[in-house]
C-alpha cells in the first residue's frame, strides 16, 4: 500500500487565533513544509464538526489535521477541550468505518509555534504517505479492529453521558 511517490492530500481545519497564526508565522519565517496540507480557517477547533472530517475523507482527502490553541490557552476559554473530546470519539468512529485513525490528527499550536506546526505537518504527511491512499471501502469489511471500535464507541458514549448528567 505504501508508496513513495504517492502525494497525499490533507485538509487542515485550523482555529483562527492560534494555529492559523502559527501557519502564518511558519510562512513569515520561510519554514518549508510539504504542500500537501490545505488549510481551512474556522474560528475555533471547537467548531470542527466530525462531519467535516468525514466529508473531507469521503471527498478524497487522505488525511485531516485539526489544529487548535494549547489547552488552557483557548481564545474561547476551553472550547479546545471539547475538540479534544470529539477527537477521541471520532477516532473510534473512524476505526469502525475502516479508516486508520492515524490519518486524522489533532495538534496544538500556539501563534508562536510555526516551527512546531511545520514539524507536525511533516510528520502527518509522512505517516499518511506510509499508510498510502485511503482504502475506505476495502477496509470497511476487512479490518478486524472494526468490531472493537464499534464497542468502544458505545462504551465512550455511555461514559460521556455519565459525565454530562
Q: Applying CB under 8 A, does 49 fall inside the site for other proteins?
A: yes
- The secondary structure element, H or E, covering residue 148 is helix 146-164
* Stretch in the footprint of other proteins (CB under 8 A) among 45-53, 100-108, 122-130, 141-149: 45-53
Instruction: Count how many residues are written for the chain.
Output: 165
4 or 77: whose CB is closer to other proteins? Answer: 77
CA distances from 108 to 40, 52, 53 (A): 16, 19, 17
33 or 152: whose CB is closer to other proteins? Answer: 33
**Placement of cell 475538540 in the chain:** 83
Window 80 to 139, contacts with other proteins (CB under 8 A): 82-83, 86, 93, 97, 118, 133-137
Q: Which three cell numbers stand for residue 130?
A: 506510509
Evaluated on CA atoms 154, 100, 142, 62, the torsion sign reads positive
**Minimum gap (Å) between residue 162 Cβ and other proteins:** 14
Please say whether the beta carbons of 23 and 114 come within 8 A. Answer: yes
Q: What is the contact surface with other proteins in residues (CB under 8 A)?
A: 9, 11, 20-21, 23-28, 30-33, 35, 38-44, 46-52, 54-56, 58-61, 72-79, 82-83, 86, 93, 97, 118, 133-137, 140, 164
Amino acid at each position: 500500500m505504501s508508496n513513495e511517490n504517492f502525494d497525499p492530500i490533507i485538509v487542515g481545519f485550523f482555529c483562527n487565533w492560534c494555529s492559523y497564526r502559527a501557519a502564518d508565522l511558519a510562512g513569515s519565517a520561510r519554514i518549508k513544509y510539504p504542500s500537501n496540507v490545505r488549510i481551512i480557517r474556522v474560528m475555533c477547533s471547537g467548531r470542527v464538526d466530525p462531519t467535516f472530517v468525514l466529508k473531507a475523507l469521503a471527498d478524497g482527502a487522505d488525511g485531516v489535521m485539526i489544529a487548535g490553541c494549547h489547552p488552557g490557552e483557548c481564545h474561547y476559554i476551553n472550547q479546545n477541550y471539547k475538540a479534544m473530546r470529539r477527537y477521541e470519539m471520532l477516532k473510534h468512529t473512524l476505526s469502525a468505518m475502516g479508516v486508520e485513525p492515524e490519518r486524522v490528527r489533532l495538534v496544538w499550536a500556539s501563534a508562536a509555534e510555526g516551527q512546531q506546526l511545520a514539524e507536525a505537518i511533516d510528520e502527518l504527511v509522512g505517516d499518511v504517505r506510509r499508510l498510502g491512499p485511503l482504502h475506505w471501502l476495502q477496509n470497511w469489511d476487512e479490518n478486524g479492529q472494526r468490531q472493537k471500535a464499534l464497542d468502544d464507541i458505545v462504551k465512550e458514549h455511555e461514559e460521556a453521558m455519565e459525565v454530562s448528567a
